[in-house]
Amino acid sequence: MRLSEVTERVSAATARVPRSVYAVGGLVIAIIFPLLNMAGWVETAWLRVGVISLLFVMLSLGLNIVMGETGLLNLGYIAFFAFGAYTTALLSSPKFELRWPFLVVVVLSALIAMVAGFVIGLPTLRLRGDYLAIVTLAFGEIVRLTITNLQDFTNGPNGITGIYSPRLVGEGALESLGSTGPAAWLVIDKPVEYYYLVLVCVAVTAVLISNLKNSRIGRAWNALREDELAAVSAGITASRAKLLSVVLSAGIAGFAGSLFAYYSNVISPESFLFMQSVIVVCMVVLGGMGSIPGVILGAIVLQALPQVIRQAAGAARSEFEVYRMLIFGIIIVVMVIFRPEGLLPDTLWRREAHEVDPREQEKTRQSLFDLEEGEKDLEV
Amino acid sequence: MVHERTRTFLALSLVIVLALGMFGVTGCAAETDGETDGETTGEVEIIKVGVQTALTGPLPDYGAAAKNGIELAVEDFGTFEMDGTTYQVELVVLDDKAEPAESAVVAQTMVDEGVVGVIGSLTTGATLSAIPIYAENRIPQISGSVTGPAANADGVDTFYRTCWNDAVQGEALAVWAMELGAEKVVLMDDNGAYAVGLADVAEDTLQAEGVETLRQNCQSGDKDFSAQVANVKEFGPDAIIFTGYHPEAGLMRKQMVEAGLGDVIFMGGDGIKSAELVAQTGGEANAEGIYATFGGFPEEQQPGYAAFSAKYEETYGEAVGPYAQNNYDAFGALIAAIKQAGSLDTEAIIEALQTVEYEGVTGTFSFATAADGPVARGDVVVAGLTPANVPRYVVEGGEFVSVK
């Protein structure tokens, strides 16, 4: 059997699995994972890998809205992450001696990132393709340089240290409940606690986005991506729909940034380099643009793979460290050669990436038609 | 179908390269394993020491030098006896890519591995996110290259370093400027962590002595400094302390001379002490009289350096890399602390590090037990080092010469 046939069959098989199976299966694995650590089978470092992977899952889900759904390439996405992270750091650290409640800080961080998304989105969204990519790239750099230079606010390159751990309840309630037993979970300061906190946030985000994807707005985004002119003729207000997608994705990045600041205790401009934006773009592309399970898988694979390679080297680890990133790169190259549409592709994107046998194409067209018919019935 | 075949071929060759690489790597590993296996028989006990460095990322040469220095130290001090048991150190080398997020994962891995101590990390930014994890899990950490004053701002007792805190130079520059009779001083940085740290300390020291100061800055890579020169001219200082690197320092000096500010004393830290500075100022005449300090004793003043560099060159076939000797000393100091503690309990080692006095390649030193002015907790305390005897250089006849 030729390699292409293998990959084709794998694609066909993955396409047949209902999406809900992925969702439930993924969630169960994610929930069980820390229990393995508590049982002593998995080391704590993997929990930290898990937290970072989940944060990047959020980022990829957010970027997927603009890139996968609306088809706007954003190369400065990490800037919104930075907005969220710095908002949190300023409101919950010894820098200004503030310790605002966790929920307020998280929501405010997301809102500020959304405002930033609105401000950058308004003038730039009339650009398309490469031009938009360049402007967003510049935006990312401007934000990073501003953070580096605004030393009175951000401590510049030294970063903000000693960010307080999130408290899920107020100080008074905390005192009366004590800090032992289940009450210890009210102050999030251990890797496993962060893990579950971020997992809940990721799950909520994923559900919201998948609902959005199947809503009127989601279809408007897809229509704009496929053919803007046709979409506008069909009555979609392009500027409003695009702006909404940019603002929403910025909000998710700000949310993730806030959690990142809490988790890492310290933030500095080094965490918001252009390279990080590129990695998030890679996660979306590798996982499968427009596909929520794909994007989640892409983020986990890209974040966890270097660690997996490290552990796979076993006793040879110390000698192996230098080659780790090289092998990581080779694996990505191989993946992109064989599955340009991503690991778990969206149906539409999959058809774009592959030349499909005409009979097969007819079948999918038919099934899509059936789908549309079915939905019409529902709407009526 | 040619296209398909090319792809298959390409992928297969990649897989083969990968497989060969793995084989090669595991091959050497098997050899080293064999060596240690031969010695683990009997009463030899293996202890793990972590090396958190950045082998990939922006500074791979620094990371490799650190690893080399530590490996040399393992040859020299890695096997020792304590209470009749022979201990042998096994290094756990992990790469943090100089990235803060990766650094936290690496630190946690070290904790999981049960290391008795960690040498590292390489950069200040990455260390910041590792410090709380080591502190919480009570694992001593000694860095041979983190010079940033921002490290250990919280003053934990698990962080130590064998290289000088940049703040030492900041204070030294301020003291020197005052010795030269400066009453109005401009401080200029390049917005990088290193330069800002240095300038902050210098500014605080000067202001505490009642010297009038003006702060200016530029970006690394800037070519035109006319705005800053105009500000300097208006302020009319006796001296300018430029804490960034030589490419900008040279141009700044050149443009100051052109603006008739050649008489203003021009000073900087080790970032400007480069042979290239003279050319960058546009000629010997412009560079004449530039002052620079250095963040460590020069190599000829480091007692063990000659022997260390000979051994390093013999082992690795290349000149000593940056901070290799500081990393060598970091490992040596950790082993000295273990011996002094007489125990592998990390709490006892941390206790011992407070009092250990270590005679290393770079000199005899101990660690600061409390923050004091620009000195952070865990900073290296070099016997007899004062701001006034930090190495000083001046450009004379087109090159830096030592000022006594």
**B128 and B49 in one domain?**
yes
**Is B340 in contact with B366 (CB distance < 8 Å)?**
no
- Cα(A188)–Cα(B225) distance, integer angstroms: 48
Judge residue A351's burial from the number of C-beta atoms within 10 Å of its C-beta, 0-12 exposed, 13-18 middle, 19 or more buried. Answer: middle
A334: nearest CB among B14, B94, B99: B14
- Cα(A345)–Cα(A333) distance, integer angstroms: 17
> Confidence band (pLDDT; 50, 70, 90) for A342?
confident
Instruction: Name which residue leads in pLDDT, B315 or B21.
Output: B315
Residues A318, B92: C-beta atoms closer than 8 Å: yes
pLDDT at residue B167 tops 90: no
Q: Is A49 on the interface with B (CB under 8 A)?
A: yes
Find residues 53-72 of chain A whose CB sits inside 8 Å of chain B.
none
Residue B377 lies in a domain: no
Residues A319, B29: C-beta atoms closer than 8 Å: yes
**B343 and B262 in one domain?**
no
Q: Considering only alpha carbons, which residue of chain A is nearest residue B49?
A: A318
Residues A191, B153: C-beta atoms closer than 8 Å: no
- Taking the CA of residue A238 and the nearest CA in chain B, the distance in Å comes to 38
| Contacts of residue B60, Cβ cutoff 8 Å, sequence gap at least 6 | B54
Q: Quick one: tokens of A211?
A: 């609902």
| Contacts of residue A60, Cβ cutoff 8 Å, sequence gap at least 6 | A280, A283, A284, A287, A295, A296, A298, A299
Q: Considering only alpha carbons, which residue of chain A is nearest residue B109?
A: A45
In chain A, the largest separation of any two C-alpha atoms, in whole Å, equals: 69
Average pLDDT over residues B27-53: 63
Judge residue A332's burial from the number of C-beta atoms within 10 Å of its C-beta, 0-12 exposed, 13-18 middle, 19 or more buried. Answer: middle
Residue B9 lies in a domain: no
Angle between helices A191-213 and A44-64 (to 10 degrees): 20
Residue type, A264: S
Peptide bond into B103 cis (omega under 30): no
**B343 and B206 in one domain?**
no
Q: Is A324 on the interface with B (CB under 8 A)?
A: yes
> Confidence band (pLDDT; 50, 70, 90) for B80?
very high
**B134 and B53 in one domain?**
yes
Q: What is the CATH number of the domain that holds B85?
A: 3.40.50.2300
Q: Quick one: tokens of A322?
A: 């230098």
Our measurement of the distance from residue A323's CA atom to the centroid of its chain's CA atoms, rounded to an integer in Å, reads 27
Q: Quick one: tokens of B331?
A: 């490992």
- Which of chain B's residues have a Cβ under 8 Å away from the Cβ of A320? 25, 29
Determine if the pTM surpasses 0.90: no
- The whole-number pLDDT of residue B46 equals 93
Q: Is B25 on the interface with A (CB under 8 A)?
A: yes
Q: Kindly report the CA angle at B20 between B16 and B26, in degrees rounded to 5? A: 145
- Cα(A88)–Cα(A107) distance, integer angstroms: 10
What is the third-level CATH fold of A3-345?
Answer: ABC transporter involved in vitamin B12 uptake, BtuC (1.10.3470)
- Which of chain A's residues have a Cβ under 8 Å away from the Cβ of B109? 43, 45
A318: nearest CB among B10, B91, B193: B91
Give the 3-state secondary structure of residue A33.
Answer: helix
SS in 3 state form for chain B? CHHHHHHHHHHHHHHHHHHHHHHHHHHHHHHHHHHHHHHHCCCEEEEEEEEEECCCCCCHHHHHHHHHHHHHHHHHHCEEEECCEEEEEEEEEEECCCCHHHHHHHHHHHHHHCCCEEEECCCHHHHHHHHHHHHHCCCCEEECCCCCCCCCCCCCCCEEECCCCHHHHHHHHHHHHHHCCCCEEEEEECCCHHHHHHHHHHHHHHHHCCCEEEEEECCCCCCCCHHHHHHHHHHCCCEEEECCCHHHHHHHHHHHHHCCCCCCEEEECCCCCCCCHHHHCCCHHHHCCCEEECCCCCHHHCCCHHHHHHHHHHHHCCCCCCCHHHHHHHHHHHHHHHHHHCCCCHHHHHHHHHHCCEEECCEEEEECCCCECCECCCCEEECCCCHHHCCEEEEECCEEEEEC
What does the pLDDT look like over A157-170, one tens digit per residue? 888 988 999 988 87
Q: Considering only alpha carbons, which residue of chain B is nearest residue A309?
A: B22
Q: Which of B48, B102, B109, B133 to mutate to test the interface with A (most CBs of A within 10 A)?
A: B109
Residues B132, A148: C-beta atoms closer than 8 Å: no
Residues B109, A45: C-beta atoms closer than 8 Å: yes
Give the least confident one: A46-60, B222-236, B360-374: B360-374
Average pLDDT over residues B33-60: 73
Residues A264, B17: C-beta atoms closer than 8 Å: no
Residues B25, A325: C-beta atoms closer than 8 Å: no
**B394 and B249 in one domain?**
yes
CA distances from A259 to A87, A183, B18, B346, B398 (A): 11, 20, 37, 32, 53
What does the pLDDT look like over B122-157, one tens digit per residue? 988 889 999 999 999 999 999 999 988 888 888 899
- Exposed e or buried b for every residue in B300-328, given b needs 16+ CB within 10 A? eebebbeebbebbeeebeeebbbbbbbbb
- The whole-number pLDDT of residue A379 equals 45
Q: Is B29 on the interface with A (CB under 8 A)?
A: yes
- The whole-number pLDDT of residue B25 equals 47
Task: Provide the number of structural domains found in chain B.
Answer: 2
Q: Is B19 on the interface with A (CB under 8 A)?
A: no
- Which of chain A's residues have a Cβ under 8 Å away from the Cβ of B151? none
Find residues 122-151 of chain B whose CB sits inside 8 Å of chain A.
125-126, 128-129, 132, 148, 150
Looking up tokens 């330069």 gives B195
Q: Quick one: tokens of A111?
A: 């809102």
Q: In chain A, what are the helix, strand and coil shares in percent, each to the nearest 5? A: 80, 0, 20
Q: Which of A142, A155, A161 to mutate to test the interface with B (most CBs of B within 10 A)?
A: A161
Residues A159, B128: C-beta atoms closer than 8 Å: yes
Residue B309 lies in a domain: yes
What does the pLDDT look like over A90-136, one tens digit per residue? 999 998 999 999 999 999 999 999 999 999 999 888 888 889 999 99
**B154 and B86 in one domain?**
yes
| Contacts of residue A222, Cβ cutoff 8 Å, sequence gap at least 6 | A69, A290, A348
Give the least confident one: A81-85, A285-289, B332-336, B350-354: A285-289
Q: Is A329 on the interface with B (CB under 8 A)?
A: no
- DSSP letters of A221-233? HHHHHH-HHHHHH
Q: Which of B7, B20, B95, B165 to mutate to test the interface with A (most CBs of A within 10 A)?
A: B95
- Taking the CA of residue B93 and the nearest CA in chain A, the distance in Å comes to 5
pLDDT at residue B286 tops 70: yes
How do the domains of chain A map onto residue ranges?
3-345
CA distances from B167 to A245, A311, B52, B123 (A): 47, 39, 24, 16
**B201 and B108 in one domain?**
no
- The whole-number pLDDT of residue A201 equals 95
| Contacts of residue A355, Cβ cutoff 8 Å, sequence gap at least 6 | none
Residue B381 lies in a domain: no
Residues B18, A330: C-beta atoms closer than 8 Å: yes
- Cα(A370)–Cα(A377) distance, integer angstroms: 11
**Is B233 in contact with B261 (CB distance < 8 Å)?**
yes
Percent share of chain A, pLDDT over 70? 89
- Cα(A150)–Cα(A107) distance, integer angstroms: 23
Average pLDDT over residues A200-214: 93
Q: Quick one: tokens of A206?
A: 């994923």
Find residues 228-257 of chain A whose CB sits inside 8 Å of chain B.
none
- Which of chain A's residues have a Cβ under 8 Å away from the Cβ of B14? 330, 333-334
Among the listed residues B95, B133, B127, B110, the one whose alpha carbon sits nearest the alpha carbon of residue B48: B110
**B267 and B395 in one domain?**
yes
Q: Quick one: tokens of B367?
A: 């660690």
Among the listed residues B125, B266, B263, B246, the one whose alpha carbon sits nearest the alpha carbon of residue B187: B266
**Is B12 in contact with A310 (CB distance < 8 Å)?**
no
pLDDT at residue B2 tops 90: no
| Contacts of residue A178, Cβ cutoff 8 Å, sequence gap at least 6 | none
Residue B29 lies in a domain: no
**B331 and B204 in one domain?**
no
Residue type, A361: Q
- The whole-number pLDDT of residue A77 equals 96
CA distances from A316 to A272, A324, A348 (A): 32, 12, 44
- Which of chain B's residues have a Cβ under 8 Å away from the Cβ of A326? 21
Q: Is A151 on the interface with B (CB under 8 A)?
A: yes
- The whole-number pLDDT of residue B37 equals 42
Q: Which helix (H) or strand (E) holds A98?
A: strand A98-99
Residue type, B56: T
- Taking the CA of residue B60 and the nearest CA in chain A, the distance in Å comes to 9
- Cα(A213)–Cα(A278) distance, integer angstroms: 24
A49: nearest CB among B51, B105, B125: B105
Q: Considering only alpha carbons, which residue of chain A is nearest residue B29?
A: A316
β-bridge pairing B85-95 and B117-120:
unpaired
What does the pLDDT look like over A218-273, one tens digit per residue? 999 999 998 999 999 999 999 999 999 999 999 999 999 999 999 998 999 989 99
Q: Is A5 on the interface with B (CB under 8 A)?
A: no
| Contacts of residue A252, Cβ cutoff 8 Å, sequence gap at least 6 | A58, A59, A61, A62, A65, A110, A205, A209
Q: Quick one: tokens of A67?
A: 């890139």
- What is the residue-averaged pLDDT of chain A? 86
Residue B130 lies in a domain: yes
Give the 3-state secondary structure of residue A92.
Answer: strand
Q: Quick one: tokens of A196?
A: 């579950």
Residues A310, B154: C-beta atoms closer than 8 Å: no
- Cα(A115)–Cα(A136) distance, integer angstroms: 15
CA distances from B136 to A178, B131, B141 (A): 21, 9, 12
Cβ contacts from A onto B, under 8 A:
134
**B171 and B155 in one domain?**
no
> Confidence band (pLDDT; 50, 70, 90) for B30?
very low
- Cα(A81)–Cα(B400) distance, integer angstroms: 45
> Residue B36 phi/psi, 5° resolution?
-70, -35
**B160 and B176 in one domain?**
no
Domain membership of residue B253 as a residue range? 167-295+388-403
Q: Which of B14, B51, B56 to mutate to test the interface with A (most CBs of A within 10 A)?
A: B56
Q: Which of B1, B4, B7, B25 to mutate to test the interface with A (most CBs of A within 10 A)?
A: B25
- The whole-number pLDDT of residue B59 equals 82
pLDDT at residue A200 tops 90: yes
- Which of chain A's residues have a Cβ under 8 Å away from the Cβ of B97? 325
Q: Is B196 on the interface with A (CB under 8 A)?
A: yes
Q: Is A44 on the interface with B (CB under 8 A)?
A: yes
Residues A161, B154: C-beta atoms closer than 8 Å: yes
- Under the phi-then-psi rule, with left for phi > 0, alpha for psi from -120 to 50, and beta for the rest, what region is A342? left
- Cα(A73)–Cα(A78) distance, integer angstroms: 13
- Which of chain B's residues have a Cβ under 8 Å away from the Cβ of A2? 4, 8
**B274 and B239 in one domain?**
yes
- Which of chain A's residues have a Cβ under 8 Å away from the Cβ of B8? 2-3
ipTM: 0.82
pLDDT at residue B27 tops 50: no
- The whole-number pLDDT of residue A17 equals 74
